[in-house]
Structure 1
Amino acid sequence: MKILITGANGQLGRELTKQYNEKGNVELILTDVDTLDITNVNDVYKMVNETRPDVIINCAAHTAVDKCEDDVDNAYKINAVGPKNLAAAMNAIGGEIVQVSTDYVFDGTSEKPYLEFDKPCPASVYGQTKYDGEEFVKTLNPKHYIVRTAWLYGDGNNFVKTMIRLGENNPEVKVVNDQFGSPTSTVDLAKVIISLVENKNYGIFHGTCKGQCSWYDFAKEIFALKGMDVNLVPCTSEEFKSRAKRPKYSVLRNYMLELTTGDITRDWKESLKEYLENLK
């Protein structure tokens, strides 16, 4: 099997590369913004026609949530037009596409975990553009896997590393205690994606670690596992002014995985413990 990964230098791209290399029998084509501009339809068709991948896994995205509010055109180009180009080009050669999406397609006003059957209602430019990317992929390529995830951490800059750095260098760390989600390791998410592709389990899926917590609870667990004595102070979202509206409750239930091939993700605390043990 030949697999092309966009955004290969990002956290998820690196983990997918690692896991596929360990499996073997897969030819990887690794691209990032310097080698493939997914917003350029001609470049995308040229790459796809020259390399003929069986699957594209699109990990490329404009993920700077606040910046998207002011950088609207680029947000739409990268998060919506890019997936459109990839989906159409792969459809032209009969190939498959994995589109990585986000909990931000929901507004966070629910009182129970979101299912894949719940109607998206994004409340930010980032969420809207990611949802529009989903819609393009669904429309333009029937062989699609749309995987929504949240609070992702892996090999790269992320919340876990930020908390450790802040805890080491500050007498007090403030973290919001009124936003809830499911911290997710790229290890778990990559396994979900690989399993979906192997089983040709097309459709929309949620892919997060099990369980839920606030950002404050997440930070508290990080410091506890690291054995760090940090003065951690809970605060409200209003104390951290941001351009984009954050979902207050964006817990995703991996319901479609449960109904089909099974949910292979771990509890978020177990995955976090493994990540910290392996963190250099």
Structure 2
Amino acid sequence: MNQMMRIVVTGLNGQVVRSLVEQGQSRADLEVIPLGRPQLDLEDPKFIERVVTAAAPDVIISAAAYTAVDHAETDPVRANAVNAAAPQELARVAKVLDIPIIHLSTDYVFDGTKSTPYTEGDTACPVNVYGKSKWEGELTVATATDNHVILRTAWIYSPFGRNFVRTIIRNAQSRTELSVVMDQVGNPTSALDLATAIIAVAKNLLASDEQALRGTFHLAGTGDASWADVAEELLALSQRLGGPFAKVNRILTADYPTAAARPSNSRLDCNKIARHHGITLPHWKNSIEATVRRVIQHQTDLEVTK
């Protein structure tokens, strides 16, 4: 399909949104229309249909979310409004417009007690308010329209906004040692890679009514690591590229208490999306260098957009 595809994506400054916009700026076959506040406020869903319909999309990408995991523990009403009620309305609008919706979800719908990577068939059992709100969002989207794809992803990083890679490099500018958790394991995922994959999924949905292309899929970077592993890798890259470096002190989750519980195992089995959509993301070690390089080149932005 070579014709122009118009994608509406919720949010303005999120990592995936900015990665999608970057793709749209570099491709002749793609127009990406980000919608966020004040034009589109997901906490006020009565305007969603009018604003989205006016943009005349071929596909809706539900990417914006309430992602303050710890703060959500004391702010469940807002978390549920953005992560559950708003996606439900977006999916309803998608059905009215007779177009597909791709909704981004998270590894946090699982409790992390499984010893192997989670498959789409595993039972959701979130351990924090954020995870519960995202699981509810999955259910509302799936109920509102059959023409949907729910993409569970994990441990997103990018050159943009607030994420682990940028935080570690920023902290290494002023510290010689950093303490990083070593007993949480997941699949680090480049938002740049994710955006490319989302566009491929969207094209597949528009090209075929096949039901196997729809439903819930896991989509994360290839290869797993602990947060400490990722920190050591990216700091070594930073040092080679002339950026800041710090020693990583490996600590346990118990040594770094947070308001919200985190799953110790966030690994996602991504074989289903490889089978049905032909998509496999690159290994995280291959992708992270591109992000570190861009962050190092723009270190002055770290304090501004942290």
Q: Secondary structure at the match of 2:13?
A: coil
Shift of 1:263: 3.0
Shift of 1:264: 2.9
Write the distance in 2 (CA, Å) between the matches of 1:163 and 1:209. 19
* 1:48 alignment counterpart: 52
* 1:32 alignment counterpart: 36
1:85 maps to which of 76, 89, 93:
89
What are the superposed Cα offsets for residues 37-76 of structure 1, whole Å, 9 maximum, x if unpaired? 1232320111133233221111110000000100010000
Q: Matches of residues 39-78 of structure 1 in structure 2 within 5 Å?
A: 39-78=43-82
2:187 touches 2:224 (CA, 8 Å); kept in 1?
yes
Shift of 1:84: 0.6
Q: Does 1:101 align with 2:105?
A: yes
Q: Using the TM superposition, name which of 17-26 and 153-162 deviates more.
A: 17-26
Q: Matches of residues 242-261 of structure 1 in structure 2 within 5 Å?
A: 242-261=258-277
Number of equivalences: 280
2:43 touches 2:78 (CA, 8 Å); kept in 1?
no
What are the superposed Cα offsets for residues 94-114 of structure 1, whole Å, 9 maximum, x if unpaired? 121111110000010010011
TM-score by length of 2: 0.88
Q: Matches of residues 178-257 of structure 1 in structure 2 within 5 Å?
A: 178-200=183-205, 201-227=213-239, 229-257=245-273
2:6 touches 2:32 (CA, 8 Å); kept in 1?
yes
Shift of 1:229: 4.5
Gaps in structure 1 of 5+ consecutive residues: none
1:39 touches 1:85 (CA, 8 Å); kept in 2?
no
Q: Secondary structure at the match of 1:260?
A: helix
Q: Secondary structure at the match of 1:173?
A: strand
Q: 1:25 to 1:263 in 2, by over 3 A?
A: closer
Matched to 1:245, the amino acid is: A
* 2:278 alignment counterpart: 262
1:112 maps to which of 83, 108, 116:
116
Shift of 1:216: 0.5
Q: 1:167 to 1:49 in 2, by over 3 A?
A: closer
Q: Secondary structure at the match of 2:113?
A: coil
Shift of 1:33: 2.5
Q: 1:232 to 1:27 in 2, by over 3 A?
A: closer
1:171 maps to which of 168, 171, 176:
176
Write the distance in 1 (CA, Å) between the matches of 2:254 and 2:181. 9
Shift of 1:259: 1.7
* 2:166 alignment counterpart: 161
Identity of aligned residues (%): 38
Matched to 1:110, the amino acid is: K
What are the superposed Cα offsets for residues 233-257 of structure 1, whole Å, 9 maximum, x if unpaired? 1111111111111000110121211
1:144 maps to which of 141, 148, 163:
148
Write the distance in 2 (CA, Å) between the matches of 1:261 and 1:51. 27
Write the distance in 1 (CA, Å) between the matches of 2:84 and 2:117. 25
Q: Does 1:272 align with 2:288?
A: yes
Q: Secondary structure at the match of 1:29?
A: strand
Q: Secondary structure at the match of 1:27?
A: strand
Write the distance in 2 (CA, Å) between the matches of 1:91 and 1:173. 48
1:20 maps to which of 24, 37, 40:
24
Gaps in structure 2 of 5+ consecutive residues: 206-212, 298-306
Write the distance in 1 (CA, Å) between the matches of 2:278 and 2:33. 29
Write the distance in 2 (CA, Å) between the matches of 1:111 and 1:81. 32
1:38 touches 1:86 (CA, 8 Å); kept in 2?
no
Write the distance in 2 (CA, Å) between the matches of 1:40 and 1:165. 35
Q: 1:120 to 1:110 in 2, by over 3 A?
A: same
